[in-house]
């Protein structure tokens, strides 16, 4: 894969480039993990069945919450 770039917004947000989404098989709603090391950062798709760090907040995982935070 060649290098791909994405600009970071003033809110610290960025778009995962299409080539990266395709390589990782990402779809809307998928969870990604950032692994920080001295040599840099890697991103990968969290596979279903892996520990979900957001599971603790299951009570906030409703359709109403999804609508509220969808635009962020």
- pLDDT tens per residue across span 51-70: 655 555 666 667 777 777 77
pLDDT (tens digit per residue) in 27-47: 998 989 999 999 999 999 988
Tokens representing residue 42 in the block: 């890697």
Which alpha helices (H) appear in the chain, and where do they start and end?
18-24, 63-69
Rounded average pLDDT over 10-26: 94
Tokens representing residue 50 in the block: 């892996």
């Amino acid at each position: 894969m060649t290098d791909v770039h994405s600009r970071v917004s003033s809110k610290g947000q960025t778009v995962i480039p299409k080539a990266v989404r395709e390589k990782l098989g990402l779809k809307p709603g998928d969870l990604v993990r950032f692994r920080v090391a001295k040599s840099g950062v890697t991103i990968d798709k969290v596979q279903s069945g892996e520990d979900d760090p957001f599971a603790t907040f299951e009570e906030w995982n409703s359709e109403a919450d999804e609508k509220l935070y969808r635009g962020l």
